[in-house]
Structure 1
Amino acid sequence: MNLQDALFNWLQISLVAAARPEDGAAVETREFFEVILREDHGLQSFAYEPEGDRYRIDYTAEGQSRTQRFDAELADQLLTDINSNPKYNE
């Protein structure tokens, strides 16, 4: 998995885990992507912030600070899909 895909997947599941802290599967999946970011891509730190109609991810790799931005509507889609499915909201 390339870095951009790993960051986007981590962002999506992080948004789900933040909105649904009782969702153990979301928390475990977020942790899984954090391992990928650290071990496969060598990121030392990473965090996201909303930025208008985008999310900004600031991360450090190889001692250098970097930034990646993703469309908020696309990033929020997983949470929207989960919340709209009654089987996940019992």
Structure 2
Amino acid sequence: MNSLQDALYNWLTIKVVCDERPEDTAAADTEKMFWGMLSDDHQLSNIEIETDAVMYYVHYDHAGDRKKARFPRELIEIMLNQINASPEKYENYPE
């Protein structure tokens, strides 16, 4: 099983891609998979994202407590930046 930190990182990275590319079915399917890990495996709820110029902050409820994780923007946005730099490598295929 992935650690909670890994699951949050993976979900947030693909969530950023989904938000920028709503037609990307592969990204949407991957985001749903990681969302399931957060909610089912790690029992997180009420997940919210906040950003500033440097960081992403993920606020969530776990075991009755409100918690927060943070990730540098450059790490979270790396996949989106790669897709934008070479869109021909990330063509969306209809279902």
Query: Structure 1: how far apart are the matches of 2:75 and 2:62?
Result: 25
Identify the residue that residue 90 of structure 2 maps to in structure 1: 88
Question: Which deviates more, 15-24 or 78-87?
Answer: 78-87
Once the 2 structures are TM-superposed, how far is the Cα of residue 81 of structure 1 from its aligned partner? 0.9
Question: Which deviates more, 44-53 or 74-83?
Answer: 44-53
- Gapped runs of 5+ residues in structure 1? none
Query: Structure 1: how far apart are the matches of 2:15 and 2:38?
Result: 13
Identity among equivalent positions (%) equals 39
TM-score (structure 2 length as normaliser) = 0.89
Once the 2 structures are TM-superposed, how far is the Cα of residue 82 of structure 1 from its aligned partner? 1.4
Structure 1 residue ranges (4+ consecutive) displaced by more than 6 angstroms after TM superposition: none
Identify the residue that residue 55 of structure 1 maps to in structure 2: 56
- Gapped runs of 5+ residues in structure 2? none
Between the two proteins, the alignment pairs up a number of residues equal to: 90
TM-score (structure 1 length as normaliser) = 0.93
